[in-house]
Amino acid sequence: MDSNITSTLGVTRCGNTEFRWGERTYIMGICNMSPDSFSSDGLNDVVTAVAQAKRLVAEGADIIDIGGESTRPGAEPLPAREELRRVIPVIERLAPELPVPISIDTYKSEVARRALAAGAKMINDISGLKEDPALAQVATEANVPLVLMSNQRYTNGEIKDVMAEIVSFLEQSIALAIQAGVPRENIIIDPGVGFGKTVPQNLEMIYRLAELKTLNRPILLGTSRKFMKGNPPDQRLGATAATLAIGIAHGADVVRVHEVKHMLQVCRMTDAIIGRRPVDH
């Protein structure tokens, strides 16, 4: 780990939480309100979603990411009114009760604004501001962290150098966010595993993840259940663990996962190996 680069990332404040980048890997737990999710984890009612979110926090999640629209390839865009119907009741129930911040997983400014009003403290945009640039203004006005994902579904032509494409995409997204007034310390970047990239490109990107450190922003890595697709989604723990360990070793600061309990051990052990903090014996 390059401690000189890591130390320049500073601190990002999210509600009552401080993310002190470089001290340890943070865990974002997934709470998916989309019934047609690729990972078969979609939830259909508020009670179940609230119970799952609380369980993930008890298992060690630092953030709960709530989304209402499927992002699997070929999924139809979801109207904002339906996305709001799915996520707002869950956020309203959880916000007063969770000790960790809630992230809203959306690319729509209207949904983000309503979610923040309901109690969310972070925006996670899989389009990197390509779908709705007004999302940056929402983040600015609320002074909340904004995750910007590199999504090659929005680029034209064949990807020749996957990391060059990702860096270029994220440079543009960061520039749009800063132009809209988002403080640089509120920006988190995500290389976008699985979004417009082939399996070999995804694997190469994880191996070359350290190249994103040139952007000098914390890196979120979302590989959960995205590999070994010959197995049912809930039986891909080993593949997820391998990608997270390599990703953390190469610079990931946050990991977005379904199985918090198991991936917590991966994060803590990898942190100990790369010198972020001692492992519990």
SS (HEC) of the chain? CCHHHHHCCCEEEECCEEEECCCCCEEEEEEECCCCCCCCCCCCCHHHHHHHHHHHHHHCCCEEEEECCCCCCCCCCCCHHHHHHHHHHHHHHHCCCCCCCEEEECCCHHHHHHHHHHCCCEEEECCCCCCCCHHHHHHHHHCCCEEEECCHHHCCCCCCCHHHHHHHHHHHHHHHHHHCCCCHHHEEEECCCCCCCCHHHHHHHHHCHHHHHHHCCCEEECCCCCCCCCCCHHHCHHHHHHHHHHHHHCCCCEEEECCHHHHHHHHHHHHHHHCCCCCCC
- Domain contains 260: yes
- Domain contains 236: yes
Instruction: Tell me what pLDDT residue 34 has.
Output: 81
Instruction: Tell me what pLDDT residue 42 has.
Output: 58
- Domain contains 15: no
Instruction: Tell me what pLDDT residue 41 has.
Output: 56
Instruction: Tell me what pLDDT residue 65 has.
Output: 97
- Choosing from 86, 113, 225, 256, the catalytic residue is 256
- Domain contains 17: no
Residue 85 appears among annotated catalytic residues? no
- Domain contains 227: yes
- Domain contains 56: yes
Instruction: Tell me what pLDDT residue 69 has.
Output: 92
Instruction: Tell me what pLDDT residue 280 has.
Output: 64
Instruction: Tell me what pLDDT residue 119 has.
Output: 98
Instruction: Tell me what pLDDT residue 164 has.
Output: 96
One digit per residue, pLDDT tens: the chain, 281 residues? 444 444 589 999 999 999 999 999 999 999 998 875 544 455 678 999 999 999 999 999 999 999 999 877 667 889 999 999 999 999 999 999 999 999 999 999 999 999 999 999 999 999 999 999 999 999 999 999 999 999 998 887 788 999 999 999 999 999 999 999 999 999 999 999 988 899 999 999 999 999 999 999 999 999 998 866 777 777 788 899 999 999 999 999 999 999 999 999 999 999 999 988 766 65
Residue 261 appears among annotated catalytic residues? no
Instruction: Tell me what pLDDT residue 191 has.
Output: 97
Instruction: Give residue 248's domain range.
Output: 22-274
- Domain contains 14: no
- Domain contains 8: no
Q: Domain count of the chain?
A: 1
CATH of the domain at 175: 3.20.20.20
Instruction: Tell me what pLDDT residue 77 has.
Output: 84
- Choosing from 108, 226, 236, 276, the catalytic residue is 226
Task: Give the pTM.
Answer: 0.91
